Amino acid sequence: MNFTLIIFNLFITYVMFASGVIRAEEFKLDYSSAKHALPPIETAGSKFFSSETGEQFFIKGIAYQPQYSQEDAISLGLPMSDTKYIDPLATPAICLRDIPHLAELGVNTIRVYAIDPTQSHDVCMEALMENGIYVLLDLSEPDASISRDSPSWDFGVYQRYKDVIDAMHQYPNVLGFFAGNEVTNDRTNTNASPFVKASIRDMKEHIKNMNYRAIPIGYSTNDDVETRENLAQFFSCGNDTADFYGINMYEWCGYSSFHNSGYDKRTQEFKNYPIPVFFSEFGCNLVRPRPFTEVEALYSKQMSSVWSGGLAYMYFEEENQYGVVEIDSKNRVVRLKDFEYLKDEFKRSEPSGITKSEYLRRLGLSPNAPTTKRECPSISVAWKAAEKLPERPEKSNCDCLTRSLPCLVSPFSDQSKYKEYFEYVCGQVDCSDIKADGENGEYGKYSGCTPDQKLALQISKLYFSLAEQNDICPVDDRHVYFNRDSKNGPNNDECASLIKSVKRSSRTRKSDDRVPSPIEDHTSSGSNIAPSVLLELAFVVLAGLIV
C-alpha cells in the first residue's frame, strides 16, 4: 500500500468517525490474519529484534500524550468521566488526525503514558500498524500508580496494570509496557524501587499465565547522578529483572557533542548491560527551536552498539514547550520548526545492527539459554532498596476485610487524608500488618490491600480495642462508616479466622497513646475523633490529675 493511499484511507476513516457514521466500538479487527500486521518485537540479551526477520530493531520514536483539559474533552466529543487524562489511542479524532504527521516525522514507535483499558483501541492501533508504528505503553495512570513518597504494591494498582495488559496484548504492534516512570528520582526515595520491581515480576507472571505473547515489561528512569548506577543494577539483578531499561535523558542541549553532553560516559557505563537500554525521553529545550543534533550521535556506531534508540519528548506543544506540533483552535495540526529538525535528523540516521542469530552466536548462547544472574546493589547512604520484594497482592485477604470489618472507608478525593488518618490511628494501634518497608524488605500481611482497606483495618482495630458495642466508628468522617453486615459475622472460615486475628491484635494498645490535634474534615463539623474516644481520653486525663 503506497503512502498516498494510506493517507487517503486515514482521511476517509477520520471523516467517518468524526461524523459519527461509525463508532469505535463497532470497529472490530482480527489481527491473526491481517496482511499488514507488524511482526512483534522481542528481546534477546541487550537487543530488540524483529520476531519475523531477526533483524535488530532500533526505536525511533516520540512521546505522544495530549494534555487533559475539560475544554478539549468536550470539543472532541469525549464522554465526561473521572479520568484525568485523554487516551489518544481510544480517540480516533485525535490519532487519525496525527498519524500522517507521525509517519512523515519518520517515527517507528510512540510512547503513550496513560490509556483507558475499558475503551476500544482497534481503530488507532490498526492505523498505527498500517504506518509501521509500534507503541510503548505505561501501565499506570494519574490515580493508579506506585507513589515515590509512600510506595506500596497494592491490589488497586495491580488490577490497573493487569487491565491495561489484558486490553492491549492482542495488538502485535505493542512493543512493551513501562511499569513505572521516575518512581525513584533521587536518593531520598530509593526505597520505592522494590515495589516497581515487584510489579514487573507479577505482570510478567500474568502474561505467562494468560498465555499471551511474551511482551517485554521494563522501567523508565531519570538520569540522577547519585542513583543512576544503583538503579540500573537493581532492575537487572537477581531473579526478577526488567526486560528493558529506559532513561529520560536531557543532558544534550542545542549543539552539544558526544563528549560535552556526557553521552560518552553513559555509553561506557552501559556497554555490558544485560538488557536493552534506550532513551525513554530525550530533547533538552534550552535552545528553541530544538536542532535535535543528539539524534545523529544516538544512532551512530559509537552509540548504537549499546543503545537501542530513543523517543523524543514530545509530539504536542504545551506549557512546558517540548512539542513539535501545535493543535490550533480548529483542531488542525500546525508543525513547528522543531518538527522539521527532528524529521531531518531521523531521516539521516540509519543505524546498522546485527541479526539475532549472529548476536547469539557471538555470545555463545542458544535462543533459550538461561541468563547469568547479576548481584544487586548493597544498601548504602545513597541506596536504600532491599533485594527482597513485596509479595503479589492477595485479593482474598483484602476482600475479607471489606466484607467482615466493622468500620469501612470509602475513597477520599483528597489523598492527603489517608496520611493524616493513618498517623492518628497508628498512634493508637499496631499497624505493622500493613507495613510496606522497601528499605528493609519488610512487608505486612495486608500491605497489598488498597489504602481504603488498610485504613479500615486499623480503624476497626481501634473500634475493637475500645470494646465498642454500638454502631459508631471511632473516627468521625463521612468517608468512615459502620458496616452493618459485620454484625452477622464472616461468611466463611477463612474470613472468620482473619477477623479473630484482627481482634487479637487490637487487644494490645500502643504504650504511646498520643492523640494529635483533631484533623479538620471540610465535609463534617466538629472533631474527627468519635465522642466515645474523647470520653475515654477524658477519664485517662482525670485519673492522671487525681494521682
Q: What is the pLDDT of residues 3-62, one digit of tens each?
A: 454 454 555 455 444 444 444 444 445 554 455 689 999 999 999 999 999 999 999 999
Q: What is the pTM of this model?
A: 0.86
Long-range contacts, stretch 184-188, CB < 8 angstroms, 24+ apart? 184/148, 184/221, 184/227, 184/231, 184/385, 185/148, 185/221, 185/222, 185/224, 185/227, 186/224, 186/226, 186/227, 187/224, 187/226, 187/227, 187/381, 187/382, 187/383
Cell numbers 515495589 correspond to what residue?
Answer: 195
Report residues of the chain scoring pLDDT below 70.
Answer: 1-36, 70, 72-82, 366-371, 468-469, 507-547
Phi, psi of 367 (to 5 degrees): -55, -30
**Fold classification of 395-546 (topology level):** Methane Monooxygenase Hydroxylase; Chain G, domain 1 (1.20.58)
**Residue 32 half-sphere exposure, CB side, CA atoms within 13 Å?**
1
Measure the N-to-C terminal CA separation of the chain; round to a whole number of Å: 92
pLDDT of residue 209: 98
Identify whether the C-beta of residue 311 lies closer than 8 Å to the C-beta of residue 247: no
pLDDT for 194: 99
Taking Cα atoms as reference points, which of 190, 238, 189, 246 lies closest to residue 218? 246
For cell 532491599, name the residue. 386
Q: What is the pLDDT of residue 346?
A: 99
Question: What is the pLDDT at residue 74?
Answer: 65
The CATH number assigned to the domain with range 58-363 reads: 3.20.20.80
Q: Are strands 134-138 and 59-63 parallel, antiparallel or unpaired?
A: unpaired
| DSSP per-residue string spanning 290-316 | ---THHHHHTSHHHHTTEEEEEES-SB
> Which residues 6+ apart lie within 8 Å of 502 measured at CB?
405, 457, 460, 461, 464
Do the Cβ atoms of 496 and 535 come closer than 8 Å? Answer: no
Rounded CA gap, 232 and 249, in Å?
14
SS3 51: coil
* Residue listed under C-alpha cell 477477623: 499
438 and 183 Cβ atoms separated by less than 8 Å: no
**Gap between the Cα atoms of 166 and 168, Å rounded:** 6
Provide the CA 416 distance to its chain's centre, in angstroms: 21
Buried b (16+ CB within 10 A) or exposed e, 436-463: bbbeeeebbbbbbbbbbbbbbbbbbbbb
Query: 147, 257, 166, 176: which is closest to 207 by C-alpha?
Result: 166
* Residue whose cell numbers read 510512547: 111
Cα–Cα distance, 547 to 545 (Å, whole number): 5
Q: What is the spatial distance between Cα 78 and Cα 91, in angstroms, rounded to a whole number?
A: 8
C-alpha cell at 149: 513518597
Phi, psi for 427 (deg, rounded to 5): -80, -10
DSSP letter at 6? Answer: H
Q: How many C-beta atoms surround the C-beta of residue 22 within 10 A?
A: 13
Buried b (16+ CB within 10 A) or exposed e, 194-211: bbbbbbbbbbbebbeeee
Beta strands 325-327 and 436-437 are unpaired
Asked if 216 and 176 count as a contact pair (C-beta separation under 8 A), the reply is yes
Domain ranges of the chain: 58-363, 395-546
Q: State CA 37 to chain mean position distance.
A: 27
Residue 250 in grid coordinates: 536531557
Q: How many helices (H) and strands (E) does the chain have?
A: 17, 16
Kindly list the catalytic residues.
182, 281
Distances (CA, A) of 487 to 402, 403, 405, 482: 13, 11, 9, 10
CA 146 to chain centre: 7
How far does Cα 224 stand from its chain's mean position? 19
Backbone angles phi, psi at 538, to 5 degrees: -60, -45
Query: Which alpha helices (H) appear in 226-278, and where do they start and end?
Result: 228-234, 263-269
Is residue 436 a contact partner of residue 146, using CB atoms and an 8 Å limit? no
Per the listing, cell 479466622 goes with 497
Residue among 165, 194, 163 nearest 177 (CA):
165
Which distant-in-sequence residues (6+ apart) come within 8 Å of 128 by Cβ?
95, 99, 102, 110, 134, 135, 173
